[in-house]
């Protein structure tokens, strides 16, 4: 209990008597210098008015700038001055989601100095596993087709050799067809690949290759008709996988091979 009497105005004995009386009542501390009547004090001290807390404002979301993947690919491809540099640029290219699901980058196979450059569609399961184009059943058939006109991907002489690549260097999931945006994104690498390899003629194997290089599909109508792309003579042909499904079409493939052999003869 606290004492609120002002004892300083009383004589010593009176003050002492009052103090002892208060101690007997239980007053043990004197907290204030002046008396304070707590019965007249307000029941509750007024609370200071605080401004209502303002809700936290979220930070403005900065829009993520869209990346022009085709422009990024073109810039990366142009910086490559050799096939090795181009392969390294493709390996470092992070804008194609196909890369995340593929085992290997499938860049090319054969002799880079070859007169004939074959452009396939996209790697399959076997190609993805081995990191080379046309190594499955379709690739084995292609090798036999080329051997029929004295061409070989393993040949060291450019006159007898072929050089093989694909429109896409990574396998699409479940071997699905490449999407138009994937073809457009990676086409600058393909164009640079042709420029660096500098073949005499280009063979387009299948619909996807014709779409990527000529901007058209319909391989059964396009096949066998020489055209021009990348500044080179271009011959669309039926894909070996198509020939495995439809062996009767091998007659048209043989005619195209003879046309290729004749064209090489005129360019030699």
Query: pLDDT tens digit string along 141-151?
Result: 999 999 999 99
Identify each DSSP E strand in the chain by its residue range: 109-110, 116-120, 162-166, 201-205, 227-229, 232-237
Query: pLDDT tens digit string along 59-115?
Result: 776 666 677 898 999 999 999 999 999 999 999 999 999 999 999 999 999 999 999
Question: For residues 166-189, b (16+ Cβ closer than 10 Å) or e, as one string?
Answer: bbbbbbbeeeeebeeebbebbbbb
Give the confidence band of 137 by pLDDT, cuts at 50, 70, 90: very high
Tell me the C-alpha distance between 96 and 73, whole Å.
10
Picking from 224, 199, 197, 198, the residue whose alpha carbon sits closest to that of residue 210 is: 224
CA-CA-CA-CA torsion for 266, 242, 139, 133, nearest 10 degrees?
A: 90
Q: Check: CB of residue 210 under 8 Å from CB of residue 227.
A: no
pLDDT of amino acid 267: 86
Q: Check: CB of residue 1 under 8 Å from CB of residue 27.
A: yes
Which residues does 195 contact at the CB level (< 8 Å), separation at least 6?
A: 230
3-class SS at 32?
coil
Structure-model confidence comparison of residues 13 and 192, the more confident one: 192
Show contacts of 259-266: CB within 8 Å, 24+ apart: 259/224, 259/226, 259/235, 260/116, 260/149, 260/201, 260/203, 260/235, 261/149, 261/150, 263/201, 263/226, 263/233, 263/235, 264/115, 264/116, 264/200, 264/201
Helices 207-214 and 180-197: crossing angle, nearest 10°?
A: 80
pLDDT of amino acid 29: 65
Picking from 84, 88, 67, the residue whose alpha carbon sits closest to that of residue 76 is: 88
Tell me the C-alpha distance between 155 and 138, whole Å.
19
The structure's pTM equals: 0.76
Structure-model confidence comparison of residues 98 and 49, the more confident one: 98
Query: pLDDT tens digit string along 23-46?
Result: 777 766 666 666 666 666 666 655
């Amino acid at each position: 209990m606290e004492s609120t009497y002002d004892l300083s105005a009383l004589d010593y004995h009176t003050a002492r008597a009052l103090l002892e009386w208060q101690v007997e009542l239980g007053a043990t501390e004197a907290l204030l210098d002046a008396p304070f009547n707590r019965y007249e004090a307000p029941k509750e001290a007024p609370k200071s008015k605080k401004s209502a807390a303002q809700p936290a404002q979220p930070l403005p979301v900065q829009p993520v700038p869209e990346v022009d993947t085709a422009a990024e690919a073109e810039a990366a491809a142009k910086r490559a001055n050799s096939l090795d540099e181009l392969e390294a640029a493709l390996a470092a290219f992070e804008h194609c989601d196909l890369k995340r699901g593929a085992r290997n980058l499938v860049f090319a196979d054969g002799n880079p100095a070859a007169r004939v450059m074959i452009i396939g569609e996209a790697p399959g399961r076997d190609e993805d596993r081995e990191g080379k184009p046309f190594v499955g059943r379709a690739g084995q058939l292609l090798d036999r087709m080329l051997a029929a006109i004295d061409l070989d991907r393993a040949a060291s002489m450019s006159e007898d050799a072929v050089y093989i690549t694909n429109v896409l260097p990574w396998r699409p999931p479940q071997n699905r067809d490449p999407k138009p945006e994937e073809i457009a994104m990676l086409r600058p690498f393909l164009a640079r690949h042709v420029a660096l390899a500098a073949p005499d003629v280009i063979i387009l194997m299948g619909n996807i290759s014709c779409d990527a290089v000529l901007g058209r599909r319909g391989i059964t109508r396009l096949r066998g008709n020489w055209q021009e792309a990348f500044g080179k003579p271009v011959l669309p042909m039926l894909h070996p996988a198509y020939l495995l499904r439809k062996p009767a079409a091998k007659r048209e493939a043989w005619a195209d091979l003879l046309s290729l052999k004749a064209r090489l003869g005129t360019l030699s």
